[in-house]
């Protein structure tokens, strides 16, 4: 991989120069925007999508609230696991950053001295986006689009090759999907236990315990009232 990166005649390097070349022609303010978006903005946006989806699930409540919330909890956990899996991969491949082996790149972020393959950012955002897609397709599609845009930004910033980003997408997707059944088997009972809790149940369902308590309060009362009416009729 490192050997391929040193060649200027392969599609990976050519695409790197094509995408990064856009930064040279763009206004300075636009490059600063892309720097922020690629480094922090899109990750923050995907986290907000996960929180928005959680808020919608807990407000709706219902029997599927606990499995849905468990799936949403898996989203950030999947991102963390994927980044941990990437640590030995980066150490094994040892691919240097593109600006260290290629001249003329417009590097928008300084201080990137670790290895390039696989991209941590691409791995993290795609793992979270795919896990969110498993939980909710509508929110997940938006998150995947944002993750792809984030990968483009990493190449635009001159800190990753396109294959670094593609590798990160593949790794994040694999971790989110392959470990999802195990994660759900472990997280769903835990979330159901939280849902039954008096103090923490609101984290899972805003309606579940309240509706159940309301039904328990109204129905017995109605029976008592009807029973009392029957007794009064008999007494009469």
The predicted-structure confidence for 94-145, as pLDDT tens digits, reads as follows 888 888 888 888 888 887 888 889 899 999 999 999 999 999 999 999 999 9
For CA atoms 122, 128, 129, 134, the dihedral sign is: positive
- CA-to-CA dists, residue 182 to 171, 176, 185, 187, 231, angstroms: 17, 11, 5, 9, 57
DSSP string, 181-217: HHHHHHHHHHHHHHHH-TTTGGGT-SSHHHHHHHHHH
Query: When comparing pLDDT for 78 and 12, which is higher?
Result: 78
8 A C-beta contact, residue 184 and residue 138: no
* Cβ atoms of 122 and 153 closer than 8 Å: no
Residue 183: what pLDDT? Answer: 93
Residues 179, 186: Cα–Cα separation, whole Å: 11
Over residues 62-76, mean pLDDT = 87
The mean of the pLDDT values for the chain is: 82
Query: CA-CA distance, 187 to 228, in Å (whole number)?
Result: 47
The answer, yes or no, to whether residue 4 has pLDDT greater than 80, is no
Across the range 141-170, mean pLDDT stands at 93
Nearest to 172 by CA among 164, 182, 181: 164
Given a contact cutoff of 8 angstroms between Cβ atoms, the answer to whether 157 and 146 are in contact is no
The predicted structure's pLDDT at residue 21: 86
More confident residue, 12 or 234: 12
pLDDT in tens, 7-43: 446 888 889 988 988 888 888 889 899 888 888 899 9
Q: Who has greater pLDDT, 201 or 223?
A: 201
Binning pLDDT at 50, 70 and 90, where does residue 61 land?
A: confident
Cβ-based neighbour number of residue 203 at 10 Å: 14
How far is residue 82's CA from residue 116's CA, in Å, rounded to a whole number? 16
Residue with tokens 């799936």: 71
Confidence of residue 215 (pLDDT cuts 50, 70, 90): very low
* Span 56-71, average pLDDT: 83
| Percent of the chain at pLDDT exceeding 90 | 40
**What pLDDT shows up at residue 100?**
85
């Amino acid at each position: 991989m490192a050997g391929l990166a040193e060649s200027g005649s392969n599609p990976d390097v050519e695409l790197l120069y094509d995408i990064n070349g856009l930064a040279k022609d763009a206004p300075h303010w636009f490059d600063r925007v892309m720097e922020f978006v690629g480094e922090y903005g899109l990750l923050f946006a995907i986290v907000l999508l996960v929180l928005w989806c959680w808020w919608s699930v807990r407000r709706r409540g219902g029997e599927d609230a606990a499995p849905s919330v468990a799936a949403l909890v898996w989203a950030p956990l999947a991102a963390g696991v994927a980044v941990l899996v990437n640590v030995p991969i980066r150490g094994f491949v040892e691919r240097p950053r593109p600006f260290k082996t290629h001249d003329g790149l417009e590097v928008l972020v300084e201080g990137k001295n670790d290895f390039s393959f696989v991209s941590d950012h691409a791995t993290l955002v795609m793992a979270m986006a795919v896990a969110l897609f498993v939980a909710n397709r509508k929110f997940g599609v938006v998150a995947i689009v944002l993750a792809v845009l984030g990968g483009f930004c990493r190449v635009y910033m001159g800190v990753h090759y396109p294959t670094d980003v593609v590798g990160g997408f593949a790794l994040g997707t694999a971790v989110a999907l392959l470990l999802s059944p195990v994660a759900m088997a472990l997280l769903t009972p835990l979330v159901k236990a939280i849902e039954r809790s008096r103090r923490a149940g609101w984290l899972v369902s805003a309606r579940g315990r309240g509706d159940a308590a309301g039904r328990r309060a109204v129905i017995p009362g109605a029976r008592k009232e009807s029973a009392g009416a029957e007794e009064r009729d008999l007494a009469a």
